A = this chain, B = another copy of it.
Amino acid sequence: MDKKLTINDIAAQASVSKTTVSRYLNGKFDNMSAATKIRIEQTIAELDYRPSRQAQALKARNSFLIGVSVADISNMYTSRLLKGIGAYFQKTTYQVLIMDADNTVDRELNNLEKMISEQVDGIILQPLVHQPDHYQFLIDQKIPVVQVDRYIEPFTWPAVVSDNFQKSVELAQIFKDKHYDTIIVLANHIQGISSRMNRLNGLKAGLNDSPITVDLIEIDDSNWQAVLKDKLHTTNRIGIFALNGQVLWSAVRFLKQQQINVPEDVGLIGYDDDQFADMLSPAIASVAQNPQEIGRTAADKLAHSIKDDVILTKNTRIPSTIQMRDSL
């Protein structure tokens, strides 16, 4: 493999100093003769030279790198989140370093340390842990961070999330109108995940003036199916509220397998994966978030936070919508 081209090669080839080439690269044409400019331009084109971002970054003391840490890269919420983030930074000089924590705390930690080593200029974080002290090392770095989807408490960094609590209050009203007796909230490990907690708490808050009871089942629990089956043995009207797409599909699969009919035997609504929910028979009601907009907004906030060196700790809520369908 031949050696990489450097600014010196261009300088030599164009018979100017590298200072002048550097000026050209940075658009400083104020005091440059047209002839020189053209010569450099042609040389660069001819040799197909591209300046090293490594070296530029070293000099500039910032890397033009944005770190993005997601909980699990392989779900649709994340995909769409990344779409929003990527589309934003595409138009800028920043590159995006995406790291997948794979829902593993150690891995997230490792990823964040790598980001620091990469001298990232800012981080978008979907945190796995909700205690701020877990992230103290990051706080100490004073790198701009924007949280997405969830947040640690108390607020240390701004967060861009869905209107989880409010939407669950709305959902509570629907359950009341439809005369449900019991709501079973089905979730992954919920403790400390603010989005999930808010979905649960919003529901409880919305139902606290009614006799409707709320039960939580975490599907990380290996015998959740038995527990759920047990709860379904009643003449009460029961609704299941699945707190994310993955959990929703677990529920659908379980109900199908148990030959429990929706909505006759039990009502069902879940978060995310709206397009698929629509295609089942019966069509499943769902709460549709807007992860792409969450990503875009977070990217925008981060960019401003980097540029203005200003620390915003406000929580931004992106509206989601309840899609009513036959399952409820």
Q: Could you say which of A16-24, A74-82, A181-189, A296-304 contacts chain B? A: A74-82
Q: 18 A-B Cβ contacts within 8 A? A: A1-B142, A2-B142, A48-B137, A51-B117, A53-B118, A54-B118, A54-B119, A73-B82, A74-B79, A76-B76, A76-B79, A90-B107, A90-B111, A95-B99, A97-B97, A249-B275, A279-B280, A280-B280
- Is A252 positioned at the interface, with any CB of B under 8 Å from its CB? yes
1/0 per residue, CB under 8 A from B, across A82-102: the answer is 110011001000011111101
Q: Could you say which of A34-42, A55-63, A161-169, A207-215 contacts chain B? A: A55-63
- Is A229 positioned at the interface, with any CB of B under 8 Å from its CB? no
Tell me, in angstroms, the Cα distance from A208 to B74 when the chains sit together: 39
Copies of this protein, total: 2
- Is A114 positioned at the interface, with any CB of B under 8 Å from its CB? yes
Residues on B with C-beta less than 8 A from A95 are 97, 99, 114, 118
- Let me know if A97 and B100 touch, CB within 8 A: no
A292 nearest in chain B by CB position: B74
- Is A276 positioned at the interface, with any CB of B under 8 Å from its CB? yes
A100 nearest in chain B by CB position: B86
Tell me, in angstroms, the Cα distance from A1 to B63 when the chains sit together: 16
A interface residue numbers (CB < 8 A to B): 1-2, 4, 48, 50-55, 57-58, 61, 63, 73-76, 78-80, 82-83, 86-87, 90, 95-100, 102, 107, 110-111, 113-114, 116-119, 137, 140, 142, 249, 252-253, 256, 275-276, 279-281, 292, 309
Tell me, in angstroms, the Cα distance from A170 to B75 when the chains sit together: 30
Residues on B with C-beta less than 8 A from A80 are 74
Residues on B with C-beta less than 8 A from A52 are 58, 117, 119
Known contacts A58-B58, A73-B86; 19 additional CB pairs below 8 A are: A4-B61, A4-B119, A50-B113, A50-B116, A50-B117, A52-B117, A52-B119, A53-B119, A54-B54, A55-B58, A73-B82, A74-B80, A76-B79, A78-B79, A83-B100, A86-B100, A96-B98, A96-B99, A97-B97
